[in-house]
Amino acid sequence: MSAVPVPYFLVLAAVLFLIGAGGFLLRRNLLVLLMSIELMLNAVNLTLVAFNRLHPQSHGGQIFAFFVVAVAAAEAAVGLAIVLSFFRLRNTVRADEANTLKN
């Protein structure tokens, strides 16, 4: 059985990253923005693990991915808490409603 070549993973990761970045820039729902960021982080994980196959002398890439997963969870928790408190005050999760600070 032949393994899937590494560049396939890299392209997939780049697609995921661009979908995430595009979602971040185009969408207006705060929860969707949070999900876009998570998608970008997962694309990074995929890139790291794929590159680890090109550098098999250590498991640096895979270990890095573990840490990214753990930190992303903490980030999601803080992000959800912030969005929740925003929702409590403004009764909306739309990003374009966040405009009281314009000067």
Site for another protein contains 77 (CB under 8 A): yes
103 touches another protein by CB under 8 A: yes
Q: Does 15 bind another protein (CB under 8 A)?
A: yes
Q: Which is nearer to another protein, 4 or 18 (CB)?
A: 18
The tokens describing 24, both together, are 């971040």
For every residue of 61-75, DSSP letters joined together read HHHHHHHHHHHHHHH
Half-sphere exposure of 9 (CA within 13 A, CB side): 16
In angstroms, the CA 86 to CA 47 distance is 33
From the list 65, 68, 102, 81, the residue with the least C-alpha distance to 31 is 81
Could you give the dihedral angle defined by the CA atoms of residues 27, 29, 33 and 38, in that order, rounded to the nearest 10 degrees? -120
Query: Cβ closer to another protein: 3 or 101?
Result: 101
Nearer to another protein by Cβ, of 4 and 22: the residue is 22
Residues that bind another protein (CB under 8 A): 7, 10-11, 14-15, 17-22, 24, 26, 30, 33-34, 37, 40-41, 43-44, 47-48, 50-51, 54-55, 57, 60-61, 63-64, 66-71, 73-86, 88-90, 95, 98, 100-101, 103
